[in-house]
């Protein structure tokens, strides 16, 4: 069976379990006209990806608190960046959304887009996707949970990503070094580089107050970045420096009430 059909079936199984609660293997096999062996393989994959819990003879949804969105409200800067980034996404695109509060803000803007496939390493992003009225097909990297970045990382996640190809990656940053590229406090940045490898367009979403911030760990060099989306506080000197790196610069519009 093609990988895309398998992913769609697993997404449908996940949706069924989330809707109906704890579900036996036999019920899923009958519902989706597949063998119990295939159901068990699908459930094991979904559990490794952090999307559900295996139970004896079946599966159960994750507790709701594990998928809740961050409590803090979005700043107008993040909202402007999210709207500007969303304008670059076409229907039926296959995208990666990395962990982070700025990238997570993008999810609320995706409701009107049909046929999206979204890969993420973030439970917060996955939970927000499930709240959309027209829910995109959801893929998760799985891997090792990193409490610092609140995301899945590691070799398993990298292997999963390399099995796919994507139209766009949306990624944040702790800082933007105008000479080098995106920088981070986190030393686990290998997965971000793999995300960039498997995406045709790399879109960095970052608030303007992080631009010019020099942090020791270089995550993505300018040569790996196609587009940078920021907010209206960006100064002219920084804008010129970014455009000199042959990167498309997009500035989110300032709301009328700001």
CATH of the domain at 56: 1.10.10.10
| Contact between 62 and 22 (Cβ < 8 Å) | no
| 67 found inside a domain | no
Q: What's the pLDDT at 257?
A: 75
| 68 found inside a domain | no
Residue 64: DSSP 8-state: G
As a whole number of angstroms, the distance between CA 148 and CA 125 comes to 16
Same domain, 17 and 109: no
Same domain, 93 and 156: yes
Same domain, 229 and 147: yes
pLDDT beyond 80 at 70: no
**End position of a domain, from candidates 23, 39, 62:** 62
As a whole number of angstroms, the distance between CA 169 and CA 173 comes to 13
Q: What is the pTM of this model?
A: 0.74
Domain housing 21: 3-62
Same domain, 155 and 227: yes
Q: What's the pLDDT at 49?
A: 67
| 133 found inside a domain | yes
Mean pLDDT estimate for the chain: 88
Would you tell me how many other CB atoms lie within 10 Å of the CB of residue 11? 18
**Taking the chain, what is the end-to-end CA distance rounded to the nearest angstrom?**
52
Q: What's the pLDDT at 165?
A: 94
């Amino acid at each position: 069976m093609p990988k895309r059909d398998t992913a769609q079936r697993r997404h449908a199984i996940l949706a069924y379990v989330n809707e109906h609660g704890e579900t036996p293997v036999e019920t899923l096999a009958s519902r989706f006209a597949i063998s119990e062996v295939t159901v068990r393989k699908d459930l094991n994959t979904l559990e490794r990806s952090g999307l559900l819990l295996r139970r004896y003879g079946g599966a159960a949804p994750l507790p709701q608190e594990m998928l809740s969105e961050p409590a803090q409200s979005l700043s107008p800067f993040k909202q402007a960046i999210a709207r500007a980034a969303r304008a670059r996404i076409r229907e039926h695109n296959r995208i990666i959304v990395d962990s982070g509060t700025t990238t997570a803000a993008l999810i609320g803007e995706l409701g009107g887009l049909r046929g999206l496939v979204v890969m993420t390493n973030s439970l917060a992003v996955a939970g927000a996707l499930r709240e959309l009225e027209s829910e995109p097909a959801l893929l998760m990297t799985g891997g090792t949970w990193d409490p610092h970045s609140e995301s899945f990382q590691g070799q398993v996640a990298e292997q999963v990503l390399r099995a796919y190809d994507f139209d766009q990656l949306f990624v944040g940053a702790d800082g933007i070094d105008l000479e080098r590229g995106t920088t981070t406090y986190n030393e686990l940045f290998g997965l971000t580089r793999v995300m960039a490898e498997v995406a045709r367009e790399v879109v960095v979403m970052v608030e303007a107050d992080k631009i010019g911030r020099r942090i020791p760990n270089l995550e993505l060099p300018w040569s790996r970045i196609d587009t940078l989306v920021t907010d209206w506080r960006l100064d002219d000197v920084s804008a010129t420096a970014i455009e000199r790196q042959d990167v498309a610069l997009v500035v989110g519009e300032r709301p009328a009430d700001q």
